[in-house]
Structure 1
Amino acid sequence: MLSEGRGVARHCAVWGSPIGHSLSPVLHRAAYAALALHHWSYERREVDEASFADAFAGLDETWVGLSLTMPLKEVALRAATTVTRVAAVTGAANTLVRDADDSSGWTAHNTDVHGLTTALRLAGCTDPTSLLVIGSGATARSAIATLAPGGRVVLMVRHRVRPETLAQAEAAGLTVETVGLGEWAAGAEVDAVVSTVPPASVPDLDGFPVATHRDHRPVVLDAVYGSGETRLQRTARERGWSVAEGTDMLLHQATEQVRLMTGHDAPLGAMSDALRVALRDRRDEP
């Protein structure tokens, strides 16, 4: 993070494709207002893998932070000069921050793990030892990183697990199982189900298991947010599971981004209020 430089313009943004749905600007702008960072700005920009290199090379030194969403979490990692341990383990970066002591350098972070861990905890799933993860991309690897060594992960995929995701799980000492989409029996005893795929891609919910844990309720987290309750969330509630909101993951990964980019503790209350208003307005749109 560069010196705050009161009165000096500082620019941040979220990049990805598609990007129009992103609520990151709502969260970061609310933080800047609450922190009185009046010369900071936060925008969204449509950037895909093919255009990333030119867009990144075009940033001048007033740019101090980028949030990255799909499909840029892996290409951003390769663009960094320094990679944090969590970003390296997951092979994915959702945050790039300009280095304070070398303005030409950028550090890659993965704050999705923090967001996932916090969202699961708020729903009652603390220190999970077993997960069923739908999908095997960058967000799936962040979910896997919430498990301690010796845990169990079930990867539900359409075809095959991405090799880098399987390698991460095995390197972490996890027991790994692979099942096809809709094969829910393997999820009957997990602490949480984390879906990282579009809601319409989650099939055969008739077979979703009833919660049978005696000491705690298992949790479902659908990482896709903004379109109201998903079929997975609705089915989970009906069958006795707790539901962790994808917007909680979004909020808490963003608070960590604000801290990394600005050097200030994030104003959680202001960011949460802004997110709630934005979601309400989105639901009210015709």
Structure 2
Amino acid sequence: MAEQQISAGVEVAPQTVTALAALLKENRGAPDELRIESAHRRALAASGEIDAAFALLAPGAEDALLWQMLADRGGDGSLLSLAVLPDDAALPDLPVAVRRKIATRLSDLGLAPAAARWLEPAETEADQLLAARVALKQKDGQAALQSLGDLGSAEAAALRGQAALQLGDMATAATAFGEAGDSLGQLRASRGAEDWLAIARSDDEAWKAAAGLLAPEQDPAPPASPDATAPPEPAGPLARGRAVLAGSAAAREALAALLQQVPAEPP
């Protein structure tokens, strides 16, 4: 009965744990001792006493179901005391899904180095993505890029962009965000890279207009007509003056529109 409850993820009542403890005491040395001992330990964990259940494990022994219960329902305190392993401790031999869940929870708690240990080695794409996210939380953009390898998904591209930002490579970040379909991230990285031509081609009208002042896109000049024998007459002073005024007005309008998007600095 208790084993069925544990397998179904149902919380086990304290009375059941007490009954199993008594049954174990009666069967010390009997053929069923190990089975009852395992059932008692797992029932203890399923009743909410995960730390006590792990304490009953013999040195060097492993119980994958206990680790799964820790990953699925263990409190943060239990996770910290049991899953933050010493550097010289061997990782338990657990299913990938359990290791990934433990790593995710540790990462969410801000314990990126401890989480990274549970992802060694990263055997699947999901592991690679999680390892990259963990590395980014450690502010290790280079490790994140190594974890991503040559993954080509949009999620991988977005993480690659974040890694490039941490490394200060704005141009690469802009390219990666573009591959991820993140136009806002691409625009921000392009601004950081001062890639005015790319910004002038963006969909952000305010930045597009302002960037166009610094990197105006010009169509190539048409080939000269065979009949053309002389260059056109240069514009007179009045025409040139009007062009300067028109350009200044366009610049003021572009900058005014841009300033409306930029929040004012607090006093």
TM-score category of the 2 structures, normalised to the smaller one: under 0.3
Larger helix share, 1 or 2: 2
Structure whose alpha-carbon radius of gyration is higher:
2
Instruction: Work out which structure has the larger RCO, using CA pairs closer than 8 Å and 6 or more positions apart in sequence.
Output: 1
Give the structure with the larger strand fraction: 1
Provide the TM-score with structure 1 as the length reference: 0.21
